[in-house]
Amino acid sequence: MAAEILNGVEVAEHIKQGVAARVKELAERGIKPGLAVVLVGDNPASKVYVGSKVKTCEALGLYSEKYELPPDTTTERLLSVIQDLNQRDEIDGILVQAPLPSQIDSKLIFDSVDPAKDVDGFHTTNVGRLVRNEDALVPCTPAGIIELLDYYKIPISGANAVVIGRSDIVGKPMAMLMLHRNATVTICHSKTRDLPGVARQADILIAAIGRTAMVTGDFVREGAVVVDVGMNNATTTEEVERIFPEAERVKRLEVLSKRGSTLVGDVEPRTVIDKAGWLTPVPGGVGPLTIAMLMKNTLRAAEKRREEKRV
């Protein structure tokens, strides 16, 4: 039996509708949550992400500003942009698009954002609060995955959750969120012995490694929930034929010939689709959730900052 599809587009729409409704209520009180998005350099993928973040703000009634800085921007220059945004009352959320160029001290930059405006949840203070299970702004992708699992009523408490990947943006916060929901959590990485064997223990398997179709059917227990966080490109006919089930190949080969590549995750659908119980597609799975959660975090930051000001 083919896996049920976890539809990230549908869940993202649901989240965004909730945000838009609340933004409308705030507008009646003269409040408009504002997001500043900062992009350094000209990474084409980052440009697309930043563009869609700004567009989504407009669609939901949030105020937004976009800053595009040249690739040779210094840490000092970027710091001064962020410090200015920290001071401005109409800005509730600040997002500095990662990855930053190598001359920039990324950790210093993420820690320069006011924790109350840190809608990415990258600041040391928010990381610490998340670890202590205190009220925190939480990274958008893992927070979105929890919303996805909840939307489909997939039980987390008591489940064996295996996270492949230990990044600060996805793997580590994902593991923490699952732990706080009482899952038994294993984090795997490049040095893990018998990775497929460990992954097969999972009731919920999260693939966040950034390696094209690395997670094959051999990694998946029959009926497991598989969440694919990967955003990679397949660029050859051979890859497309190896990665995708027959039913999807024609469409994928069309995309490949039109655009020179087709989006593929960290999971190989051809071998996973008939083993998993549930699977997120790429595209249309985790991706849309990240932006929806950014909107939710910006709304939350706006509400919280105003609450704190009243006291």
Q: Which residues contact residue 131 at a Cβ distance below 8 angstroms, ignoring those fewer than 6 apart?
A: 176
Q: Give 118 or 203: the residue with its C-beta nearer to ligand GUN.
A: 118
- Catalytic positions, please? 53, 97, 120
Cα–Cα dist 254/239, whole Å: 14
Stretch of residues binding ligand GUN (CB under 6 A), selected from 93-101, 126-134, 204-212, 272-280 = 93-101
Minimal CB distance to ligand GUN: which residue? Answer: 98
State the pairing for strand pair 93-96/160-164: unpaired
Q: Please answer whether residues 19 and 295 qualify as being in contact, where contact means their C-beta atoms are separated by less than 8 angstroms.
A: yes
Q: Least distance from C-beta 269 to ligand GUN, angstroms?
A: 22
Residue 120 interacts with ligand GUN (CB under 6 A)?
A: yes
Q: Give 143 or 215: the residue with its C-beta nearer to ligand GUN.
A: 143
Residue 98 interacts with ligand GUN (CB under 6 A)?
A: yes
Residue 94 interacts with ligand GUN (CB under 6 A)?
A: no
Q: Which sign, positive or negative, has the C-alpha torsion 221, 227, 231, 233?
A: positive
Q: Least distance from C-beta 307 to ligand GUN, angstroms?
A: 25
**For residues 261-280, which are near ligand GUN according to CB under 6 A?**
none
What are the tokens at 88? Answer: 């401005």
Stretch of residues binding ligand GUN (CB under 6 A), selected from 69-77, 92-100, 129-137, 246-254 = 92-100
What are the tokens at 159? Answer: 């489940």
Stretch of residues binding ligand GUN (CB under 6 A), selected from 28-36, 69-77, 94-102, 145-153 = 94-102
Residue 145 interacts with ligand GUN (CB under 6 A)?
A: no
Residue listed under structure tokens 């923490």: 176
Helix (H) or strand (E) holding 44: helix 44-60
Residue 147 interacts with ligand GUN (CB under 6 A)?
A: no
What are the tokens at 281? Answer: 């597609």
HSE-CB for 45 with a 13 A CA cutoff: 8
Residue 95 interacts with ligand GUN (CB under 6 A)?
A: yes
Residue 290 interacts with ligand GUN (CB under 6 A)?
A: yes
Number of residues that bind ligand GUN (CB under 6 A): 9
Residue type, 228: D
What is the per-residue burial (b if ≥16 Cβ within 10 Å, else e) of 17-48? Answer: eebeebbeebeeeeeebbbbbbbbbebeebee
Select the residue interacting with ligand GUN from 56, 64, 73, 97 (CB under 6 A).
97
Stretch of residues binding ligand GUN (CB under 6 A), selected from 12-20, 75-83, 91-99, 183-191 = 91-99
Say how many residues make up the chain. 311
Q: Which residues contact residue 115 at a Cβ distance below 8 angstroms, ignoring those fewer than 6 apart?
A: 123, 125, 126, 137
**For residues 162-181, which are near ligand GUN according to CB under 6 A?**
169
What are the tokens at 31? Answer: 């409040």
Q: Give 173 or 269: the residue with its C-beta nearer to ligand GUN.
A: 173
Rule CB under 6 A: which residues touch ligand GUN?
A: 95-98, 120, 140-141, 169, 290
